[in-house]
Amino acid sequence: MDCIFCKIAAGEIPSDILYQDEGVVAFRDINPQAPTHVLIIPKKHIAALTDLSEAGMSVVGEMARVANQLARAEGIAERGYRVVINCGQQGGQLVPHLHMHLLGGRQLSETLG
Ligand code: 5GP
Ligand code: ZN
């Protein structure tokens, strides 16, 4: 499949990987919007949040666990951070492989778009 995040998860495209386990991979965003900007993805190709099945829903919990762990590792847990999942065109999702953004290290905007 021609999916950039599947290729990153498979190690076929280089990225700055911070964490991986059997189900989840986390790597730095190539175009960071904040001092810490990490993407957390399921290894399995799921196009968007809306495509998650009841059975597959638990991967979002795994992604949130990794976000919290990396926020501590990045030193932003105390000051606070934001996690975002864009879904679909009007949600601003550009890469059609489910991902969670972890953003922090500066005061983030009070508006969400
Ligand atoms: P979206 O708009 O789909 O929620 O976010 C996609 C994110 O993926 C963007 O923040 C973009 O900078 C990031 N991105 C796109 N292509 C690559 C890539 O090849 N490597 C990395 N590390 N990040 C990417
Ligand atoms: Zn994919």
Answer yes or no: is the C-beta of 4 below 6 A from any ligand 1 atom.
Answer: yes
Query: How many angstroms separate the alpha carbon of residue 91 from the centre of ligand 2?
Result: 18
Answer yes or no: is the C-beta of 84 below 6 A from any ligand 1 atom.
Answer: no
Q: Are 41 and 98 in contact (CB under 8 A)?
A: yes
Q: Is 101 a catalytic residue?
A: no
Q: Which ligand places an atom closest to the C-alpha of 47?
A: 2
- Give the pLDDT of residue 37: 98
- Tell me the residue ranges of DSSP E strands in 1-113: 17-20, 24-28, 36-42, 81-84, 100-104
pLDDT in tens, 60-94: 999 999 999 999 999 999 999 999 999 999 999 99
Token duo for residue 36 = 């810490």
Q: How confident is the model at residue 1 (pLDDT cuts 50, 70, 90)?
A: confident
Q: How many CA atoms lie within 13 A of 101 on its CB side?
A: 20
- CB-count exposure of residue 70 (10 Å: 0-12, 13-18, 19+): buried
Answer yes or no: is the C-beta of 18 below 6 A from any ligand 1 atom.
Answer: no
pTM: 0.98
Tell me the average pLDDT across 50-67. 97
